[in-house]
Every structure is written in structure tokens, then in C-alpha cells.
Amino acid sequence: MVLPTIRASFDRRDALNLVDLLARHDPGLRDALLTDPDVQAPPSLMFYVLVRQTLLEGVIDSPSIADFVASVVLAFTRTERSYRVSEETEEDLHYLVEMIEQMRTAEERRTFLLRAHMGNYYLWLTGLFPDYLEPRVRRRSA
């Protein structure tokens, strides 16, 4: 299960790196993270800032939501994780029907994990690949 843990993982070094970037690129932190060759930020920090800025542009002012979405993006950047219900399992589930079929006979905790994974997976898929999904919806094959 993906939990929003990115903000809690920031340390003093991350804060100092952000302050340094802001000093050199005031006020475009997002642009600095994307273009500055001397960026010393971990991927989790970059994902969080990019997601937070994007949500703010969409008038969603919630650090908690940004933390969760960035955590999903970070977790699913590892291809094998995007098809696994949890870090502990090695079984890949590529299709929604596989997950739904497993929920019919799974114990309560496994059912919960399957539901959480399905939500996270489709949040990730539709958020990162809208150009792929939109034509499929128009063709009625989604």
C-alpha cells in the first residue's frame, strides 16, 4: 500500500538545497528543479515540488494531497511496483479483471490492499498518461 510519506522524509539537507535553489532562481523553484544542472535534490523532493505546484495551479491547496499523489508517482516509477499490490508480494497483476477476480476469494486484508492498489494504479495511469487514455475513450475501447 502506498502511504504519503514524502514530506516526513525531508531533512535539513533537503531544506538547504531548496533554499539554495530559491536564492539562485527566485521565485521559480519548479523551473529550477527541472533545468538547473547543479540540483542536489532527491527524486522524492522533486516529485513532491512538481506535484504540489501542479495542484496549486489547479487550485488544490493541500500539502497532504500533494504528498499522497507524489508518493504514488514515486512508488510507481518502479515498473514492478505498479503491478504489485504491495512491496511484499511478487505476483504481478496487469489487468483490472485479475484484481477483481482475486477480491472474490481474498481475505479481508488482501481485499483492502487490492482495492487500494486499484485506486492508486488508475490514479497513476490516468494522471500520467491522459494522452494515451483519451483516444481510447473516444474510440469506446477504454
Under 8 Å between Cβ of 111 and 103:
yes
Q: Identify the pLDDT of residue 111.
A: 92
Q: Identify the pLDDT of residue 133.
A: 56
Q: Identify the pLDDT of residue 105.
A: 92
Q: Alpha carbon of 96 to those of 69, 89, 117: distances in Å?
A: 21, 17, 10
Work out the mean pLDDT of the chain and round it to a whole number: 80
Say yes or no to pLDDT of 142 above 60.
no
Q: What are 17-21's contacts with CB under 8 Å, separation 24+?
A: 17/41, 17/45, 18/45, 18/49
Q: Identify the pLDDT of residue 134.
A: 63
Overall size of the chain counted in residues: 142
Q: Identify the pLDDT of residue 107.
A: 92
Q: Mind listing the pLDDT tens digit for each residue in 99-126?
A: 899 999 999 999 999 999 888 888 877 7
What is the rounded distance in angstroms from the CA atom of residue 121 to the CA atom of residue 85? 9
Q: Identify the pLDDT of residue 112.
A: 92
Under 8 Å between Cβ of 101 and 93:
no
What is the rounded distance in angstroms from the CA atom of residue 56 to the CA atom of residue 52? 6
Q: Mind listing the pLDDT tens digit for each residue in 23-57?
A: 666 667 777 777 878 777 788 888 888 888 888 88
Q: Identify the pLDDT of residue 78.
A: 72
Q: Mind listing the pLDDT tens digit for each residue in 59-115?
A: 888 889 889 888 888 888 776 778 888 878 888 888 888 889 999 999 999 999 999
Q: Which amino acid is at 67?
A: D
User: For the chain, which residues make up each domain, given as ranges?
Assistant: 1-77, 85-142
